């Protein structure tokens, strides 16, 4: 099992943002985090990435305590955070160059990743020359380049309009499944969580406790018009409403 979160608590300025939060992510599993704004989703993801310290509890990957950022955890930010002065090739290979990976291994990994995302003819383009979907794929490939045990994504489609969002959900889901890496993704979009996730966790505010842990048992590729898809969406929307009402108490 790659990732275990045990009784995690986070306090900011004497305010308890997250309290007693626990869950596990299985090998190759795609887990989505839903919840009202301010419930601690991004903070929790940041602690998994090693960018923030927890107040108490533990987060382990393959039984090793997470103490800081590492190549065993790939991270995709909301705005993709591609280096605008680097082309696709250099963006993808950035972490491997930092690790001083031998040149031949870098080239082999680059070829493998470009083929995985169907970007073979775009390796010399700069981010500004790419569509939003291509930028997304490059950001994911850069996170996957070091063969991380788990991929952490913070609302990677937040700024995308509705029509493009569904197309990019399709591409993202396909790319991650081909890579076979476990994923934890923060999202505000209920339908997106049902489309991409194997499990969806709903957090409530005033302490970021776990309200719902729902397994999505639908075949892939998923059909958004399937009545069962709509039922999952409705059930999670009800759960989010409860989380929001909790926040108003």
Q: 126 vs 80, 115, 130, 131, CA distance in Å?
A: 13, 18, 7, 11
Which residue ranges make up each domain of the chain?
3-247
Q: What's the pLDDT score for residue 246?
A: 57
Tokens 């291994």 correspond to what residue? Answer: 105
Q: Between vectors from CA 3 to CA 117 and to CA 154, what angle results, nearest 5°? A: 50
Query: Are 173 and 203 within 8 A, CB to CB?
Result: no
pLDDT tens for the chain, residues 1 to 249: 679 999 999 998 888 889 889 999 999 999 999 998 888 899 999 999 999 999 999 999 999 999 898 888 999 988 788 999 999 999 999 989 888 899 999 999 999 999 988 899 999 999 999 988 889 889 999 999 989 999 999 988 876 777 778 888 888 888 888 889 999 999 999 999 999 999 999 998 777 788 999 999 999 989 999 999 999 999 999 999 888 775 454
Which distant-in-sequence residues (6+ apart) come within 8 Å of 25 by Cβ?
1, 2, 3, 4, 31, 150, 182, 184
Answer positive or negative: Cα dihedral of 128, 131, 136, 138: negative
Measure the CA–CA gap between 110 and 93, rounded to whole angstroms.
Answer: 7
Cis peptide before 10 (omega within 30 of 0): no
**Burial status of residue 62 (CB atoms within 10 A of its CB: 0-12, 13-18, 19 or more):** exposed
Measure the CA–CA gap between 189 and 107, rounded to whole angstroms.
Answer: 37
**pTM for the model:** 0.90
Q: How do strand 210-215 and strand 199-203 relate by DSSP bridges?
A: antiparallel
Q: What's the pLDDT score for residue 1?
A: 61
Q: Where are the alpha helices (DSSP H) in 50-189?
A: 88-98, 103-116, 132-144, 162-179
**CATH of segment(s) 3-247:** 3.40.50.300
Q: Which uninterrupted H or E stretch holds 184?
A: strand 182-186
């Amino acid at each position: 099992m790659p990732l275990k979160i045990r009784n995690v608590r986070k306090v900011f300025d004497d305010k308890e943002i997250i309290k007693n939060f626990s869950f596990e992510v299985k090998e190759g599993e795609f887990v989505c985090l839903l919840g009202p704004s301010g419930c601690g989703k991004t903070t929790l993801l940041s602690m998994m990435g090693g960018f923030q310290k927890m107040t108490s509890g533990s987060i382990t990957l393959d039984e090793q305590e997470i103490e800081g950022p590492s190549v065993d955890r790939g991270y995709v930010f909301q705005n993709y955070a591609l280096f605008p002065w680097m082309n696709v090739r250099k963006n993808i290979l950035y972490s491997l160059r930092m690790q001083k990976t031998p040149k031949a291994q870098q080239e082999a990994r680059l070829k493998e990743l470009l083929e995985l995302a169907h970007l073979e003819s775009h390796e010399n383009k700069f981010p500004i020359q790419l569509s939003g979907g291509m930028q997304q794929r490059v950001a994911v490939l850069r996170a996957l380049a070091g063969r991380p045990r788990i991929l952490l994504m913070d609302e990677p489609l937040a700024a995308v309009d509705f029509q493009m969002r569904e197309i990019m959900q399709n591409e993202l889901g396909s790319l991650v499944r081909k890579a076979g890496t476990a994923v934890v993704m923060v999202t505000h979009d209920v339908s997106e969580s049902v489309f991409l996730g194997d499990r969806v966790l709903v957090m409530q505010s005033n302490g970021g406790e776990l309200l719902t842990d729902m397994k999505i048992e639908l075949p892939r590729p998923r059909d958004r018009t399937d009545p069962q898809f709509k039922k999952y969406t409705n059930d999670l929307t009800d759960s989010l409403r409860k989380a929001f009402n909790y926040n108003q108490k």
